Chains A and B, each alone.
Chain A
Amino acid sequence: MRQSATHGTIPRVGDSAYLPTAASAVPTAAPRVRHSVLVRITHWITTLCFFALLISGVEIVISHPRFYWGETGNDLTPTLFKLPIPASRALVPTGYGYALPDQNGWSRSLHFQAAWVVLLTGLLYTIFGLSTGHWRRNLLPGGADLSWRAFSAAFASHLRFERPSGAEAWSYNLLQRLAYLFVIFVLFPLVIWTGLAMSPAFVSAFPATVTVLGGQQSARTIHFFVSLALLLFLLVHVVMVWLAGFWSRMRAMITGRAALPMEQP
């Protein structure tokens, strides 16, 4: 807000595309705040934590790359599926004649520490999202966007890899909004829930958190698939940022500024 404090007509953070009258009062090429400080900080902390969780999660899976459904599962029980990789434990029947080095100690510690940091970051972001109207303004699709026609138009435009218009560079389009909402309100809560449902002490206090999932091994399997879904989101997200203009988007998420020209309506 350093600049905007002296500049009464600057629109509120993230508002720009939805406030054409206010936006038109701003010189078209002036650097403006695309992402608020809090969104930027929580975005990069989450990114860092996600990589820590991903790497440590992969290491933990390697110690037992077999998945089950229900309450229990071990080397003597049938699997739901197994990953065709060697394990870091000699006893696991993988078909490979060797075991990888055991990395579970630091992996588990890093996994839970990163989970704590991302959880607290998510809490801060949630308070921000609710109290500032960031979610309502920037993530919830507007009334007109919710039609089937708007959805298919946005979808078709994505399939043709059309570059976003100037206005789109200043806000999120429908597909982006739906993707972010799905990650924030479905995948993140689900990955936290299934993670906690694997903790023997946590479920002793809240047994329903694991029983409704069908058991502790079901929780582990769902945790794995939700993590895959988050990884898929990350890959698509990075490809989209690349297609939309990697450096300008990176600059917007790091400095908050974007010097993209505004498209006059």
Chain B
Amino acid sequence: MSDLSRRKLITTGFAATAGALGLGVAARLAQSYGLVPPDHSGIYGLGETLTYASQRLLTRHSLAREFRRSQISKPPFANEIPPLNEAYRRLQAGGFADWRLAVNGMVTRPAAFSLDQLKSYPSVSQITQLQCEEGWSYIAEWIGVPLSHLLQIVEVQPQARYVVYFSIDPDWWESVDMADAMHPQTVLAYGMNGDDLPVGNGGPLRLRLPRQLGYKNVKYITHLTVTDSLKGFGKGLGSASPEGGYAWYAGI
């Protein structure tokens, strides 16, 4: 073994050790700054983590593009929905008068809101694009109450890190971090294009999150839970999507 190859071996050893230590430190830092998504394990964890971490560093406060009224898609596209269950049809028959949005978890004042109550709060309107992971998209005007407003009413506790939200369809539930939950364009939408939100588009209540793909925009919302950990929900991957093979963070 020549001097050269020994030196090379030692250098390589040092580089590998430094690299491994560096990765460990980076992982620790990423974890403490909330840059690691709940679905970071598994063979695609590297990609999911890099995407989520860089999006959090780049786009924490940026606003989704808004469009002119003339750019609204006519007619709006309503994607295929699974047959709605008995509970939904009963509420629909009553004109959604008994629809409730329950908010609980790490909040000081858990509450259940009727649609009329939600409509009594200051409303916002946004003309934004809804983009499906499949590739299609449409632009609509969405009217509703910012999620941040509701979270202020129930007083979110400071240790909260995620908001988990559930559809009346038990197979569809999602969660977002506080950056997305408190984002001004994250809206509990009850109206669309100047009218009530149509059933095909998620009526009577849908979470609009224009910086993430369609599947994070859960339709028929009945329940929000504020939490500091996603471990207790489903398989602990953050939402139903990663359980079905899709990314938890869907800003891409």
Among A66, A71, A109, A115, point to the contact of B71 (Cβ < 8 A).
Answer: A71
The residues of A that contact B71 with a CB separation of less than 8 Å are: 71-72
Q: How far is the CA of A76 from the CA of B213 in the complex (A)?
A: 19
Among B62, B136, B210, B246, point to the contact of A108 (Cβ < 8 A).
Answer: B246
Residue of B nearest to A196 (CB): B252
Q: Report yes or no: A200 in contact with B213, Cβ–Cβ below 8 A.
A: yes
Chain B CB within 8 A of A5 CB: yes
Q: Report yes or no: A104 in contact with B134, Cβ–Cβ below 8 A.
A: yes
Q: Report yes or no: B55 in contact with A202, Cβ–Cβ below 8 A.
A: yes
Known: A71-B71, A104-B134. A202 touches B58 (CB 8 A): yes
Among B47, B48, B55, B73, point to the contact of A74 (Cβ < 8 A).
Answer: B73
Q: Report yes or no: A205 in contact with B129, Cβ–Cβ below 8 A.
A: no
Q: Report yes or no: A207 in contact with B65, Cβ–Cβ below 8 A.
A: yes
Residue of B nearest to A216 (CB): B137
Q: Report yes or no: A116 in contact with B50, Cβ–Cβ below 8 A.
A: yes
Q: Report yes or no: B138 in contact with A72, Cβ–Cβ below 8 A.
A: yes
Among A76, A113, A220, point to the contact of B135 (Cβ < 8 A).
Answer: A220
Chain B CB within 8 A of A201 CB: yes
Least CB distance from B210 to A in Å reads 7
Chain A CB within 8 A of B124 CB: no
The residues of B that contact A60 with a CB separation of less than 8 Å are: 134-135
Among B46, B139, B210, B245, point to the contact of A71 (Cβ < 8 A).
Answer: B139
Q: What is the size, in residues, of chain A's interface with B at 8 Å between Cβ atoms?
A: 42
The residues of A that contact B246 with a CB separation of less than 8 Å are: 104-105, 108-109
Chain A CB within 8 A of B225 CB: no
Q: Report yes or no: B212 in contact with A201, Cβ–Cβ below 8 A.
A: yes
Chain A CB within 8 A of B161 CB: no
Q: Report yes or no: A116 in contact with B73, Cβ–Cβ below 8 A.
A: no
The residues of B that contact A66 with a CB separation of less than 8 Å are: 135-136
Q: How far is the CA of A112 from the CA of B137 in the complex (A)?
A: 20
The residues of B that contact A129 with a CB separation of less than 8 Å are: none
Chain B CB within 8 A of A38 CB: no
Residue of A nearest to B136 (CB): A74
The residues of B that contact A64 with a CB separation of less than 8 Å are: 132, 134-136
Q: How far is the CA of A104 from the CA of B80 in the complex (A)?
A: 17
Known: A74-B77, A113-B47. A106 touches B139 (CB 8 A): no
Q: How far is the CA of A104 from the CA of B244 in the complex (A)?
A: 10
Q: How far is the CA of A110 from the CA of B44 in the complex (A)?
A: 7
Q: Mark B61-97, 1 if CB is under 8 A from A, else 0.
A: 0111101000101010101100000000000000000
Q: Report yes or no: A71 in contact with B134, Cβ–Cβ below 8 A.
A: no
Q: Report yes or no: A204 in contact with B65, Cβ–Cβ below 8 A.
A: yes
The residues of A that contact B4 with a CB separation of less than 8 Å are: 2, 5
Known: A63-B135, A105-B245. A202 touches B251 (CB 8 A): yes
Known: A112-B47, A199-B251, A201-B251. A72 touches B63 (CB 8 A): no
A58-77 with Cβ < 8 A to chain B: 60-61, 63-64, 66, 71-77
Q: Report yes or no: B133 in contact with A77, Cβ–Cβ below 8 A.
A: no
Chain A CB within 8 A of B100 CB: no
Q: Report yes or no: B44 in contact with A201, Cβ–Cβ below 8 A.
A: no
Q: Report yes or no: A75 in contact with B77, Cβ–Cβ below 8 A.
A: yes
The residues of B that contact A249 with a CB separation of less than 8 Å are: none
Q: Report yes or no: B131 in contact with A200, Cβ–Cβ below 8 A.
A: yes
Q: Report yes or no: A77 in contact with B244, Cβ–Cβ below 8 A.
A: no
Can you list 22 A-B contacts (CB < 8 A)?
A63-B134, A66-B136, A71-B67, A72-B129, A74-B73, A75-B136, A76-B75, A104-B134, A105-B244, A109-B47, A109-B247, A113-B48, A200-B212, A200-B213, A201-B59, A201-B62, A202-B58, A202-B252, A203-B65, A204-B62, A207-B65, A216-B137
Given A114-B47, A220-B135, 12 further pairs, Cβ under 8 A: A5-B4, A64-B132, A66-B135, A71-B139, A72-B71, A73-B137, A91-B80, A109-B44, A112-B48, A116-B51, A200-B213, A217-B137
